[in-house]
Structure 1
Amino acid sequence: MESTEYAVIGAGLAGASTAWHLAARGHEVTVLERSTPANDAGSSHGSARIFRYAYEDEFYTRLLQRSEEGWAELARLGGGELITATGSVDYGAERDPAALAGVLAACGVEHELLGAEEARGRWPQIAFDTDVLWHPGAGVIDAQETVMAMVGAAADHGARLETGWAAESVVRDGPAFVVTAEDGRTLRAGRVVVAAGGWLPRLLGALPLPEGFLDAMPHLEVRQEQAYHFPYAEPPTEAPATWPTFIHMRRGWTAYGLPGGRDAGFRGQKIAEFNGGKVLPSAADQDGVIDPENRRRVVEYVRECLPGLVPEPYAETTCLFTNTPTEDFVIDSAGGITVVSPCSGHGAKFAPVIGELAADSASGAGEVPARFRVAR
């Protein structure tokens, strides 16, 4: 049986980042990925994720500032520019742009607070209905290229990647663990990091974690979300540079959008309803089928609120969100096993620092913020 110091289950953003940080610290690491890194059955695929600083909670804005060094290091290591600057606008009766501006001011993040009329003059393609927060440091993350950059950086430090390796169980074996794949293959590991995204609910019962830890785990709700690409009404060679990312919160409805990237030919804006998809037991239960009612709601929203788009999607896809009740992440260890779930639809932008914190937790080299711990 082959052995390793650390087995990292999952090669999405969280797992790849954890493997990178552990390997860079001199640890022996084997990454076990059920398919391939950043595959489209998980939460880390594609070229378009929002990078933003605007949070109601100063904690997350400062955590993102902490991630800046990691993003810069990935670019230096050969990943290239993984974040395209677009700026971001936040608005809507439930978004409270003034409060967001206060957080950004406290953290020293450049921003402007604009009236709806002034904002419409600057971005006529968006029908703003309230004051608007604008911060130019926001942008779009290429999630797939980020994963590949981190996997490459981990490999440069000696980490080994096993693809097509679907972990089914982890069993304690003396001071170590035996990880068994669905096809019967095994790997002995001194410590295990589980960064399995939407598969985590299914795996939790197969992990030798203390009963108290499992009882204290927040409920993980997996949703099959839907995103649609709407073409720009202006020529595509001109429109993308003028479109910021956005979050629009009205009563009972949150929409978000961003330039769609290469996934849909750079032809339009990617628009979705936040947490508008069906709830699944785990990622294994996804079917990739678009809900017609969700499509109808989003098309009507585009027709009403985004005059700069043609309200007819030319591409659509599903993806997975794994939510906690508070939308806080889970990064914690017990008995040699570390559980990592940077989730709730906003984890991608924190990828470099998530791996740093997970490596700290797994190795005991540092502390993880108390709000990410299971026993809070």
Structure 2
Amino acid sequence: MESTEYAVVGAGLSGAAAAWQLAARGHDVALLERSTPANDAGSSHGSARIFRYAYPEEFYTGLVQEAKTGWDELARLSGKQLITPTGAVDYGSIRQPERLAAVLAARGIDHELLTPDEARRRWPQIAFDTQVLWHPDAGVIDAHESVAAMVDQAGTHGAELHNNWAVASITASNGGYLLTSGDGRTLRAANVIVAAGGWLPQLLGSLPLPPSFLTGMPRIEVRQEQAYHFPYADGTDHKAAPGPTFIHKREDWQAYGLPGGRDAGFRGQKVAQYNGGKVLPSAAEQDGKINPDNRRRVIEYVAEYLPGLAPEPYAETTCLFTNTPTEDFILDRADGITILSPCSGHGAKFAPLIGQLAADLASGAGPAPDRFRLAALAQTH
């Protein structure tokens, strides 16, 4: 029977990052993926995820700054442009642009706070309704290429990728763990890192974790989100100058948008209602179906607030968000099992750093931030 020092379950952004970091440190690593890395059924597929520094508190903004070092290193090693610079605008009555600006100022990040008229003159394709935060160092992450780059780096350092290896159970065995796949294959591992995203809820019950650890687990909500690609109203692809990403939050509506990149054939923008999809028991129950009411609401939003787009989507897709009540990540360890869930729809930008933190925690080289440990999460849910 095959054995390994570390088995990483899930080859999305977080799992691939953890495998890369562990393998680069000389550890024996097996990366187990239920399908193939960054496949369409998970949370890490496609070419369009927002990279931004704007958060309402310094904790996350500081982590983005740390993560950027890892992104730069991965770009150097892979020879790929993984983040396309576009800048970002943040606005809306509950987005608090002034507060975001104060955080960026405290962290020394370039930004401007604009009036709605100033912003409309600069970006006439957006109808702004409040003050606007602009920070030019934001951009768009190519999630699929980033996963591929991290898997490649893990393999360069000796990690083995096992595609089509869906973990059905993990049991304690001889001081380590026995992992069994859905088709009966087995693997022994001294340590396990579970980075299963939307499949985490269904795996939790089969993990040999202490009851006290499991009782501290926050409620995990899996949503099947829906996103739509709208063409530019002027009919061009804007590949050379795609325009900024945006986050717009009002009391009754939260939307985000970004250049669709390769996913949209460079023809338009990807727009979605934040957490507008249906709640699922786990990722296994996703059906890939678009809710017609959600489509209608997003079309109406585009018609009112995004005059630079033609309000008729030419493509649409679903994806998974895996949320905690506080939107904080889960990164904690009990015995030889590390739970790694950088989730809640905003984890992509942290991937290289999350991989480092997971490798530190799993190997005993260092702690995870207290905020991501179950004891802290249990106090806030």
TM-score bin, normalised by smaller chain: over 0.9
2:34 aligned counterpart, secondary structure = coil
Report the CA distance between 1:76 and its aligned residue: 1.1
Supply the AA of the counterpart residue of 1:362: A
Are 1:193 and 1:340, in contact at CA under 8 Å, matched by a contact in 2? Answer: yes
**1-side partners of 2:362 and 2:239: how far apart?**
45
Alignment-derived partner of residue 265 in structure 1: 265
2:71 aligned counterpart, secondary structure = helix
Alignment-derived partner of residue 11 in structure 2: 11
Alignment-derived partner of residue 339 in structure 2: 339
Runs of 4+ displaced beyond 6 Å:
none
**1-side partners of 2:63 and 2:259: how far apart?**
24
Alignment-derived partner of residue 363 in structure 1: 363
Alignment-derived partner of residue 38 in structure 2: 38
Supply the AA of the counterpart residue of 2:354: I
Supply the AA of the counterpart residue of 1:231: P
Are 1:332 and 1:372, in contact at CA under 8 Å, matched by a contact in 2? Answer: yes
2:128 aligned counterpart, secondary structure = coil
Report the CA distance between 1:238 and its aligned residue: 3.7
Equivalent residue runs for 1:79-90 within 5 Å:
79-90=79-90
1:375 aligned counterpart, secondary structure = helix
Alignment-derived partner of residue 324 in structure 2: 324
**Stretch moving more, 307-316 or 73-82:** 73-82
Q: Quote the RMSD (CA, aligned, Å).
A: 0.8
- 1:169-201: CA deviations, max 9, x gaps? 100012110000000000000000000000000
**2-side partners of 1:242 and 1:341: how far apart?**
31
Report the CA distance between 1:224 and its aligned residue: 0.1
Supply the AA of the counterpart residue of 1:333: R
Supply the AA of the counterpart residue of 1:73: E
**2-side partners of 1:79 and 1:325: how far apart?**
38
Alignment-derived partner of residue 53 in structure 1: 53
Supply the AA of the counterpart residue of 1:308: G
Supply the AA of the counterpart residue of 1:178: L
**2-side partners of 1:108 and 1:86: how far apart?**
19
Are 2:239 and 2:266, in contact at CA under 8 Å, matched by a contact in 1? Answer: no
**2-side partners of 1:321 and 1:66: how far apart?**
23
Report the CA distance between 1:101 and its aligned residue: 0.1
Report the CA distance between 1:247 and its aligned residue: 0.2
Report the CA distance between 1:240 and its aligned residue: 6.2
Are 2:242 and 2:259, in contact at CA under 8 Å, matched by a contact in 1? Answer: no
**2-side partners of 1:240 and 1:332: how far apart?**
42
Flag the 1:242–1:78 CA change in 2: closer, same or farther, 3 A. Answer: closer
**1-side partners of 2:309 and 2:52: how far apart?**
22
- 1:264-319: CA deviations, max 9, x gaps? 10000000000000000000000000000000000000000000000000000000
Report the CA distance between 1:242 and its aligned residue: 4.8
Are 1:6 and 1:193, in contact at CA under 8 Å, matched by a contact in 2? Answer: yes
**1-side partners of 2:237 and 2:90: how far apart?**
25
2:375 aligned counterpart, secondary structure = coil
**2-side partners of 1:67 and 1:3: how far apart?**
31
Are 1:233 and 1:310, in contact at CA under 8 Å, matched by a contact in 2? Answer: yes
- 1:324-358: CA deviations, max 9, x gaps? 00000001100100000000000000000000011
Report the CA distance between 1:237 and its aligned residue: 3.9
Equivalent residue runs for 1:288-299 within 5 Å:
288-299=288-299
Equivalent residue runs for 1:215-254 within 5 Å:
215-238=215-238, 241-254=241-254
The unaligned stretches of length 5 or more in structure 1 are none
Task: Provide the TM-score with structure 1 as the length reference.
Answer: 0.99
Supply the AA of the counterpart residue of 1:261: G
The unaligned stretches of length 5 or more in structure 2 are 377-381
**1-side partners of 2:242 and 2:281: how far apart?**
40
Report the CA distance between 1:234 and its aligned residue: 1.9
Report the CA distance between 1:239 and its aligned residue: 7.0
Are 1:232 and 1:239, in contact at CA under 8 Å, matched by a contact in 2? Answer: no
Alignment-derived partner of residue 287 in structure 1: 287
Alignment-derived partner of residue 379 in structure 2: none
Alignment-derived partner of residue 256 in structure 1: 256
Alignment-derived partner of residue 124 in structure 1: 124
Are 1:35 and 1:166, in contact at CA under 8 Å, matched by a contact in 2? Answer: yes
Alignment-derived partner of residue 187 in structure 2: 187
Are 1:258 and 1:271, in contact at CA under 8 Å, matched by a contact in 2? Answer: yes
2:18 aligned counterpart, secondary structure = helix
**1-side partners of 2:212 and 2:42: how far apart?**
29
1:351 aligns with 2:361: no
Flag the 1:109–1:50 CA change in 2: closer, same or farther, 3 A. Answer: same
Are 1:50 and 1:139, in contact at CA under 8 Å, matched by a contact in 2? Answer: yes
Are 1:54 and 1:104, in contact at CA under 8 Å, matched by a contact in 2? Answer: yes
Alignment-derived partner of residue 375 in structure 1: 375
Alignment-derived partner of residue 77 in structure 1: 77
Supply the AA of the counterpart residue of 1:321: F
Supply the AA of the counterpart residue of 1:67: A
2:95 aligned counterpart, secondary structure = coil
Alignment-derived partner of residue 169 in structure 2: 169
- 1:33-52: CA deviations, max 9, x gaps? 00000000000000000000
Task: Provide the TM-score with structure 2 as the length reference.
Answer: 0.98
**2-side partners of 1:209 and 1:236: how far apart?**
54
- 1:40-80: CA deviations, max 9, x gaps? 00000000000000000110000000011110111111141
